[in-house]
Structure 1
């Protein structure tokens, strides 16, 4: 799969899972979501998950000595990682790692001022990758205390614009902030009750990764059979089209019933 320039500034550009056991993670997501895997190409101990030949996410192995949680991370495209980190710090965000050189680009792991973690990526992205509506295999949701306030943070950091070619646009729609890339919804920022609690709480501020499946009940049953744990939380609060799970290594993700 070829590398291409990022489609829009501030757009989600990749999903990444750092796992303790890469082979076990591949076996789990392959069984639950039907993904196949190929070598990542950037370094040993990484792979790219594909669905029907289309890239979905990157998987990597955490070094054994690092005491960091297994987690899914959403990355957003920026023109200059150093500048984006500076803007983030000015607005109360924190930096965990980077920016550091990685393959053909530079990356940083950061958090917003409420503690929701995400990644910044400066460089080319994989052709054919997408999140959001239509046939995209995944979409993103920020669970936060105040979506409008969060948009005021993310907008300047990621350079979201309104009706500006080459930039993502965020708009307030029915108490939800919707992020659009070239008019297509790619993420939602949702207000709600959140806790500044331990990592294991589903209800803490965070970026949730949603994977679409044609048969939600069957996918949930496969996940549980493969060692996942269902997690009570916002996805279960009257939304029967979603279920939140932790994989056997502890990474939180959400399954959504595909509408198309």
Structure 2
């Protein structure tokens, strides 16, 4: 996950995540103590919206606009950075995807919500480019993953929309390993498309925590649910959690160079 010290888009890579919540206070009371996040107000075009921060680093957004205005389920949305959002609209349509919302102008640039040919939603964000070192540590998103029966077909769609093959090969690498198509940016796993008989129909977000077992227990005390794990994997320990309103996410104590579990 390409998190920066300022809110900026990282072309061709996941650049921002945002939770579509039902009740803002419920989400803040859960994720704040669980992830160690503090909050400050963000743009309120569609309703209350807060930016989550760790030591002053913006890491995520939480708002209620999608639920109230668009009748969307409680879920995390991954936004991929891009240089030209109008070109993205054409590329999405040409490759069998759909654009549900936008492009819309917001305080940090322009955004849209789309779906790939399987119906999996994702966001596109044209904003101020962000290039530089990625901070890693507890409470920060580390990667996103899509579970799909055909990771090659899904990877072709996203690679063509975000032009992964045209990027600097010293910085962008797409490869097949450990039963998934993996996108590495600056040597770090940033997004993966995993072969699975049970598709997720969403981009799962992984957050780094210091101790997965303790975090899972804390989530339950805060009203959340442990759906799976903690599981020991070759790359660390992971658990799939659900917040009190139904939003799913994963936590991991994987090494910096690791990937989610097989």
- TM class by smaller structure: 0.7 to 0.9
TM-score by length of 1: 0.83
Q: Among residues 183, 196, 206, which one is paired with 1:210 in the alignment?
A: 206
Is the CA contact (8 Å cut-off) linking 1:13 and 1:125 kept in structure 2? no
Counterpart residue number, 1:198: none
| Deviation for aligned residue 1:3 | 4.9
Aligned match for 2:62, one of 49, 59, 62: 59
Q: Deviations over 1:208-240 (max 9, x none)?
A: 0011111111111111111112225xx777748
In the alignment, which of 75, 81, 84 is matched to residue 77 of structure 1?
Answer: 81
| Change over 3 Å in CA distance of 1:14–1:65 after alignment to 2 | closer
* Pair 163,147 (structure 1): closer, same or farther in 2 beyond 3 Å: same
Equivalent residue of 1:231, what SS? strand
Q: How far does residue 64 in structure 1 lie from its aligned partner after superposition?
A: 3.3
Unaligned runs of 5+ in 1: 195-202
Query: Which is worse superposed, 117-126 or 16-25?
Result: 117-126
* CA apart distance, 1:127: 8.2
Please, which runs of 5 or more residues in structure 2 have no aligned partner? Answer: 257-262
Q: For 2:13 and 2:69, how far apart are their aligned partners in 1?
A: 33
Cα contact 1:231–1:244 (8 A) shared by 2: yes
Q: How many residues align?
A: 246
What's the offset of the Cα at 1:182?
A: 2.7
For each residue in 1:113-134, what CA deviation from the matched residue of structure 2 results, as whole angstroms up to 9, or x when unmatched?
Answer: 1122110001126788958xx5
TM-score (norm 2): 0.83
User: What do residues 152-194 of structure 1 show as CA deviations (whole Å, max 9, x unaligned)?
Assistant: 1111111112662697432222432111223322111111112
1:21 aligned partner: 23
Contact 1:84 1:157 in 2 (8 A): yes
Of 238, 245, 251, the match for 1:249: 245
Structure 1 position 59, deviation (Å): 1.1
- Which residue does 1:141 correspond to in 2? 145
Are the structure 2 counterparts of residues 143 and 129 from structure 1 closer, same or farther at C-alpha, using a change threshold of 3 Å?
farther
